[in-house]
Structure 1
Amino acid sequence: MRKLATEKRSRGHRKHMQDQEGASMTGLIVHEWIERRGGSENVLEAIAAAYPDAPVLTPWSNAPERLTGHDVRQSILARTPVRRSKPLAALVLPLAWRTMVPTGTQYEWVIASSHLFSHHVRVPGRDGPAPKFVYVHSPARYIWNPDLDARGANLLARTASSVLKPLDRRRAQEARRIAANSAFVRDRIKSTWGRDSTVIHPPVDVDRVRRLAAAPEQLGDAERSALEQIPEVFLLGASRFVSYKQLDRAIEVGEAADLPVVLAGGGPEEIALRARAAEATVPVYFVLEPTDAMLASLYARAAALVFLAIEDFGIMPVEAMATGTPVLARRLGGTAETVIDGRTGIFIEDESATGIRASVNRLLTLDRAPVASHADRFSTAMFESRLKAWVQEGLTDGALS
């Protein structure tokens, strides 16, 4: 009886220790850095919601209001000038990610949300490095694709890329699995890193956009007044005011179609866009730094969203479609996957004034109900389901993919 009791206590002790080890072993989520606004940050929040017990590690956060209630850990870089210089960060982070995770902690897995170097992270596990799952918004554009990002065109960036490219490719081989946010990015992952990947489109909170669009009471007085000044029929261009977003093309489209244009956003190109608007043959209205409620209202009221940037995915077109608003886009980048030509939007094939006018006229005849239902394919719930299945399959079969 004593021996039996001892064996029971021994088994109980081993189980307790295993339970304790299981409690200390969990996943880790890493992200480049956290800003107040950004598509990659929206994805990060969805990943964190899918794995609420996994801490989030980031070099620094400029948005303490994001991920409230979640365990967000910042590195020592948060207390250095690196956080204020993206070029300096690009030089420092490849090494920093290798040493950012304390060696005394073990994790069962790590998900790296990557658009620069977070996939370089080295995370200790029980029997060596923890399995690494990389969700790729894009291989670093200004290293691999300076044609898509002017930041990679200067001499310093070109010099650094000659060193960083082979390192980036080598560390990408460490990933157990890689997911791309679009087929457009999947192709770039193949050509830059030589790895296959699974397409998991980013989450778009289509239900929230619809709720905001249907709740004008959430608008402030100034926002209501601004809406009253905007004509009933208009084309919308919305994004950060930076050159590659091509918001000047939204004005060009408005001129070709003889329709007023609203530009919503903010950024360094505001002065240039205002100068272009002053010369335009149609009225151009600016809505600076719109709240989420204001942006949703603009989506819902617009005749169409003009989105001609070449994006890796492009969340805004899906948000606009969620309110039933069709999209004028190019058959390039993420919009080639999210917009259905002739059903949820129109692809510009002829970029002459006559061709643009014809495309807009077709756009204005589309039924808005199918446009709205199509957006549900990119919902947050769909993203979470696919992400969890992708990670679980990778942990189960252990095969690289």
Structure 2
Amino acid sequence: MKVAIAHEWFVSHAGSEKVVEQILQIYPQAELYSLVDFLPAELRYFIQHKPVNTSFIQKLPLAAKKFRQYLPLMPLAIEQFDLSAYDLVISSNHAVAKGVLTRPDQLHISYVHTPIRYAWDLQHQYLQQAGLNKGLKSPLTRLILHYLRLWDVASANRVDCFVANSRYIARRIWRTYRRPAKVIYPPVNVHRFRPDLPREDFYLSVSRFVPYKRVDLTVQTFAQLGLPLVVIGDGPQRQQVEAIARPPIQLLGAQPDSVVTDYMQRCRAFIFPAEEDFGITPVEAQAAGAPVIAYGRGGATETVIPDKTGLLFAQQTTASLAEAVKTFEQMRSRFSPPQIRQNAERFSIERFQQDFQAFVAATYLKFQQGDVLE
């Protein structure tokens, strides 16, 4: 069986790339397709140093740093890949990858991290943050996003089966495309963490400093509470967060995985105020035996068990988060690191490989027999 994997862009080793990494472990003979490939040499190990077939966007001016600005061209670019030689096409989609063209006798399975957020439920937030909610560029940008929505729905018909990374995303797939999706949680390297180290007197947040991650909410809340907080990460909102941070809050900036692992294994609890599609860091924290205090929407509701592996707070406000932290302070002795770790193991790499391989095999057999796929 000849296999092709289509992914939007290879520039880092983040959550969606870790899914591709494990799909490649299952199908090491697969060939890779991506709009652009700007992976540095030290990260090419996770794609097994394979060559990547790229689109014309790879060669456009300033593409290495500004490729996202070519968003209007991405639907056209993804359609130019000739995948006719493959039996199975797997797209890893959070923007346009599912739009690849295939024949009726090819099986196309799309693993969806999210439908294209800035064209759907985050459009107004995206326009505001980019300064495009008014002015001369606003009507053009809105027209482009309208076109993307039309193309996004139309291209969903090119997919034989959808796989969602959470029930939350499965609901969004249904709402956007009116298509069912099999839920297979993404792989998390739970074995890199030890849950048996002594817990210390600080809370932890690990995040990119971008608006929807709500690092500002975490820092503001802990500044009011006067509790020790360590924040690992960096991003465009760094100065804004620094302006409201004060002792005993520590901002460590971006750190290597070894440092993140060490802090997760020692923190009193992990703070996660974002509404995420899945959210890998709360699972990693639980693998390290740390309770998680998370916003009660999105993927965290599927990975955190209230009162057993953490707490969920109802609103993205300082009052709601502060109340959850105070509740945790009163009951933190009830949380069992072994039990928390056991919950995290539901999301292991081995479980992902087994579930994904079994789903593809069963689906391919049905497809070959001419059965109707759901």
TM-score band w.r.t. shorter chain:
0.7 to 0.9
SS of equivalent residue, structure 1 residue 295: helix
| Distance in 2 (alpha carbons) for counterparts of 1:151 and 1:41 | 27
Whichever residue aligns with residue 26 of structure 2, its letter is: A
| Distance in 2 (alpha carbons) for counterparts of 1:290 and 1:129 | 47
| Distance in 2 (alpha carbons) for counterparts of 1:332 and 1:389 | 29
2:353 to 376, 384, 393: 384
| Distance in 2 (alpha carbons) for counterparts of 1:362 and 1:201 | 32
Q: Which runs of 4+ in 1 moved over 4 A?
A: none
On the 8 A contact 2:270/2:285 being kept in 1, the answer is yes
Residues 235-286 of structure 1 deviation map (CA, whole Å, 9 limit, x = unaligned): 1111111111111122234245431111101111111111111xx4x42111
| Distance in 1 (alpha carbons) for counterparts of 2:118 and 2:128 | 4
Q: Does 1:121 align with 2:100?
A: yes
Residues 320-353 of structure 1 deviation map (CA, whole Å, 9 limit, x = unaligned): 1000011001210000000000001001147527
Residues 191-240 of structure 1 deviation map (CA, whole Å, 9 limit, x = unaligned): 111111011111001112449x98xxxxxxxxxxxxxxxx9411111111
| Distance in 2 (alpha carbons) for counterparts of 1:262 and 1:111 | 39
Q: Does 1:84 align with 2:68?
A: no
On the 8 A contact 2:193/2:265 being kept in 1, the answer is no
On the 8 A contact 1:348/1:359 being kept in 2, the answer is no
| Distance in 2 (alpha carbons) for counterparts of 1:309 and 1:157 | 26
Pick closer, same or farther for the CA change 1:330–1:69 going to 2, 3 Å.
closer
| Distance in 1 (alpha carbons) for counterparts of 2:60 and 2:352 | 35
| Distance in 2 (alpha carbons) for counterparts of 1:318 and 1:400 | 32
| Distance in 1 (alpha carbons) for counterparts of 2:128 and 2:194 | 37
Q: Does 1:260 align with 2:228?
A: yes
SS of equivalent residue, structure 1 residue 145: coil
- Map 1:333-348 to 2 at 5 A: 333-348=298-313
- Map 1:174-323 to 2 at 5 A: 174-210=158-194, 232-255=200-223, 257-277=225-245, 280=246, 282-323=247-288
TM-score, normalising length from structure 1? 0.82
| Distance in 2 (alpha carbons) for counterparts of 1:120 and 1:186 | 18
| Distance in 2 (alpha carbons) for counterparts of 1:191 and 1:322 | 32
Deviation at residue 152 of structure 1 after TM alignment = 7.7
Which position in structure 1 is the counterpart of 2:135? none
| Distance in 1 (alpha carbons) for counterparts of 2:11 and 2:193 | 20
Deviation at residue 61 of structure 1 after TM alignment = 2.0
Unmatched segments (≥5 aa) in structure 1: 1-24, 215-230
SS of equivalent residue, structure 2 residue 36: coil
Deviates further, 367-376 or 93-102: 93-102
Deviation at residue 86 of structure 1 after TM alignment = 4.8
2:85 to 100, 106, 122: 106
| Distance in 2 (alpha carbons) for counterparts of 1:168 and 1:90 | 13
On the 8 A contact 2:101/2:158 being kept in 1, the answer is no
Q: Which has the larger radius of gyration?
A: 1
Whichever residue aligns with residue 122 of structure 1, its letter is: L
Pick closer, same or farther for the CA change 1:89–1:83 going to 2, 3 Å.
farther
SS of equivalent residue, structure 1 residue 32: strand
SS of equivalent residue, structure 2 residue 10: coil
Whichever residue aligns with residue 367 of structure 1, its letter is: S
Deviation at residue 362 of structure 1 after TM alignment = 4.5
Q: Does 1:135 align with 2:111?
A: yes
| Distance in 2 (alpha carbons) for counterparts of 1:325 and 1:148 | 35
Pick closer, same or farther for the CA change 1:368–1:42 going to 2, 3 Å.
same
Whichever residue aligns with residue 110 of structure 1, its letter is: V
On the 8 A contact 1:253/1:356 being kept in 2, the answer is no
Whichever residue aligns with residue 281 of structure 2, its letter is: M
Q: Does 1:162 align with 2:146?
A: yes
TM-score, normalising length from structure 2? 0.87
In percent, how many aligned pairs have the same letter?
A: 31
On the 8 A contact 1:29/1:55 being kept in 2, the answer is yes
Whichever residue aligns with residue 400 of structure 1, its letter is: L
Deviation at residue 163 of structure 1 after TM alignment = 1.3
Deviates further, 202-211 or 329-338: 202-211
| Distance in 1 (alpha carbons) for counterparts of 2:15 and 2:229 | 24
On the 8 A contact 1:236/1:250 being kept in 2, the answer is no
Whichever residue aligns with residue 109 of structure 1, its letter is: L
Deviation at residue 89 of structure 1 after TM alignment = 2.9
Pick closer, same or farther for the CA change 1:151–1:85 going to 2, 3 Å.
farther
SS of equivalent residue, structure 2 residue 345: helix
SS of equivalent residue, structure 1 residue 364: helix
